[in-house]
Structure 1
Amino acid sequence: MLKKLSYITLFALTLGSCSDTLDDINANPNATETPLAPYLLTGTLKQGADLYWGDVNNFNSSLLFVQHWAKIQYTEPDRYDVSNTSFTTLWNTGYATLITDLNTIINFPEAQANSNYKGIALTLRSWTFLLLTDAYGSIPYKEAGQKVTPAYNTQKEVYTGLLEDLKQAQSLLNTSGGSVTGDLAYKGDVSKWKKLVNSLRLRIALRISDKEPALAKQAVIDATTDAGGLISSNAETFKFTYTSSPQQNPASAWFETRDDFRISKTMVDQLNEFSDPRLPVYAQLPSDATVGKYVGGANGLSNSDANSQGFAKTSKPGTYFLTSSSPAVIFSYSEVLFNLSEAVARGYISGDAEQLYKNAITASFIQFGITDATVISNYLNQTSVKYDATNYAKSIGTQKWIAFYGQGLDAFTEWRRLDYPVLKAGPNTVLDGKLPSRFFYPGTEQSLNGDSYQAAIAIQGKDLLTTKLWFDAK
Structure 2
Amino acid sequence: MKNTSNILLSGIVVFSMIFSSCSEGLDDIDGNPRNITQEQLEVDFQNVGSLYKPMFENIYQYTPPWSFQLQQNLNADVFSGYMTNPRPFVAGANNTTYNLVSGWNNFIWSVPYSNVMNNAKTIENETKDEFPELFAVSQILKVTAMHRVSDVFGPIVYTKFGESATTSEYDSQEEAYSAFFNDLDEAVQILSDNIDSPRFTAFDLSYGGNYENWIKYANSLRLRLAIRISKADPIKAKTEAEKSLSHPNGVIETNTESFFVNGTLDHPVKTINNSWGDIRMNASMESILVGYEDPRINSYFDPSEVSEGEFKGVRNGLPLLSGYDDELAQKADYVTFSLLADDVLTPRVQLMTAAEVFFLKAEAALRGWSGAGTAQANYEQGIITSFQQYSLGGSNNYITNATLTPNDYVDPVNAANSITALSNITIAWDEAASNEEKLERIITQKWIAMFPEGQEAWSEYRRTGYPKIFPVVSNQSGGVIDTDLQIRRIPFVDSELQTNPDGVADAVTKLGGPDNAGTRLWWDVPGGNF
* Displacement after TM superposition at 1:358 (Å): 0.6
Tell me which of 427, 448, 462 is aligned to 2:514: 462
Tell me which of 69, 76, 79 is aligned to 1:55: 69
Once the two structures are superposed, residues 204-255 of structure 1 have per-residue CA deviations (whole angstroms, 9 ceiling, x without a partner) of: 1111111111111111111111122211200011101233xxx321112334
Q: Given the alignment of the two structures, is residue 447 of structure 1 paired with residue 498 of structure 2, yes or no?
A: yes
State the one-letter code of the partner of 2:377: Q
Structure 2 SS opposite 1:328: strand
Once the two structures are superposed, residues 3-43 of structure 1 have per-residue CA deviations (whole angstroms, 9 ceiling, x without a partner) of: xxxxxxxxxxxxxxxxxxxxxxx997378566622211123
* Displacement after TM superposition at 1:414 (Å): 0.9
Tell me which of 343, 360, 380 is aligned to 1:339: 360
CA contact (8 A) 1:297 1:309 kept: no
**Which consecutive unaligned segments of at least 5 residues does structure 1 have?**
1-25
CA contact (8 A) 2:314 2:334 kept: no
Q: In 1, Cα distance between the equivalents of 2:149 and 2:501? A: 18
| Match of residue 380 from structure 1 | 399
* Displacement after TM superposition at 1:342 (Å): 0.6
Structure 1 SS opposite 2:102: coil
* Displacement after TM superposition at 1:268 (Å): 0.7
State the one-letter code of the partner of 1:29: D
Tell me which of 47, 52, 55 is aligned to 1:36: 47
Structure 2 SS opposite 1:108: helix
Q: In 1, Cα distance between the equivalents of 2:239 and 2:223? A: 10
Once the two structures are superposed, residues 286-327 of structure 1 have per-residue CA deviations (whole angstroms, 9 ceiling, x without a partner) of: 246x722111112111233792782464111122234xx342
Distance 1:396 1:369, change over 3 A: same
CA contact (8 A) 1:207 1:417 kept: yes
| Match of residue 236 from structure 1 | 257
State the one-letter code of the partner of 2:230: S
CA contact (8 A) 2:82 2:282 kept: yes
Tell me which of 198, 208, 221 is aligned to 2:242: 221
Once the two structures are superposed, residues 156-210 of structure 1 have per-residue CA deviations (whole angstroms, 9 ceiling, x without a partner) of: 1111111111000011112134431211111111111111111111111111111
State the one-letter code of the partner of 2:51: L
Structure 2 SS opposite 1:86: helix
| Match of residue 310 from structure 2 | 293
Distance 1:266 1:27, change over 3 A: closer
Count, aligned residues: 439
Q: Given the alignment of the two structures, is residue 400 of structure 1 paired with residue 446 of structure 2, yes or no?
A: yes
Distance 1:312 1:88, change over 3 A: closer
State the one-letter code of the partner of 1:428: S
Q: Which has the larger radius of gyration?
A: 1
Distance 1:106 1:333, change over 3 A: same
Q: In 2, Cα distance between the equivalents of 1:161 and 1:272? A: 41
Deviates more, 1:40-49 or 1:61-70: 40-49
- The structure with the greater share of residues assigned to helix is 1
CA contact (8 A) 2:170 2:503 kept: yes
Distance 1:109 1:296, change over 3 A: closer
**Which consecutive unaligned segments of at least 5 residues does structure 2 have?**
1-26, 39-45, 403-425
Distance 1:118 1:110, change over 3 A: closer
Q: In 2, Cα distance between the equivalents of 1:339 and 1:86? A: 32
Tell me which of 419, 425, 428 is aligned to 2:471: 425
Q: In 2, Cα distance between the equivalents of 1:65 and 1:31? A: 49
Q: In 2, Cα distance between the equivalents of 1:220 and 1:414? A: 17
| Match of residue 363 from structure 1 | 385
Tell me which of 141, 147, 156 is aligned to 2:158: 141
* Displacement after TM superposition at 1:424 (Å): 3.4
Tell me which of 56, 71, 86 is aligned to 1:72: 86
Q: In 2, Cα distance between the equivalents of 1:42 and 1:97? A: 9
State the one-letter code of the partner of 1:260: D
* Displacement after TM superposition at 1:417 (Å): 1.0
Structure 2 SS opposite 1:172: helix
Tell me which of 370, 375, 383 is aligned to 1:353: 375
Structure 1 SS opposite 2:58: helix
Deviates more, 1:428-437 or 1:152-161: 428-437
| Match of residue 279 from structure 1 | 297
Tell me which of 121, 137, 155 is aligned to 1:120: 137
Distance 1:110 1:58, change over 3 A: closer
Distance 1:217 1:457, change over 3 A: same
Q: In 1, Cα distance between the equivalents of 2:182 and 2:335? A: 51
State the one-letter code of the partner of 2:396: S
Structure 2 SS opposite 1:200: helix
Q: In 2, Cα distance between the equivalents of 1:420 and 1:348? A: 21
Structure 1 SS opposite 2:455: helix
Once the two structures are superposed, residues 128-163 of structure 1 have per-residue CA deviations (whole angstroms, 9 ceiling, x without a partner) of: 221111111011111112223111111111111111
Distance 1:252 1:445, change over 3 A: same
What TM-score do you get using the length of structure 1 for normalisation? 0.87
Q: In 1, Cα distance between the equivalents of 2:31 and 2:295? A: 50
CA contact (8 A) 1:398 1:420 kept: yes
Deviates more, 1:268-277 or 1:37-46: 37-46
Q: Given the alignment of the two structures, is residue 175 of structure 1 paired with residue 195 of structure 2, yes or no?
A: yes
CA contact (8 A) 1:51 1:90 kept: no
RMSD: 2.3
* Displacement after TM superposition at 1:256 (Å): 4.9
Once the two structures are superposed, residues 98-118 of structure 1 have per-residue CA deviations (whole angstroms, 9 ceiling, x without a partner) of: 11111211221479x622211
* Displacement after TM superposition at 1:66 (Å): 1.5
Distance 1:220 1:304, change over 3 A: same
Q: In 2, Cα distance between the equivalents of 1:273 and 1:118? A: 47
Tell me which of 309, 318, 326 is aligned to 2:341: 318
Q: Given the alignment of the two structures, is residue 330 of structure 1 paired with residue 347 of structure 2, yes or no?
A: no
Identity of aligned residues (%): 25
* Displacement after TM superposition at 1:77 (Å): 2.7
Q: In 1, Cα distance between the equivalents of 2:126 and 2:248? A: 27
State the one-letter code of the partner of 2:333: G
CA contact (8 A) 1:72 1:311 kept: yes
Structure 2 SS opposite 1:205: helix
CA contact (8 A) 2:84 2:315 kept: yes
Distance 1:31 1:214, change over 3 A: farther
What TM-score do you get using the length of structure 2 for normalisation? 0.78
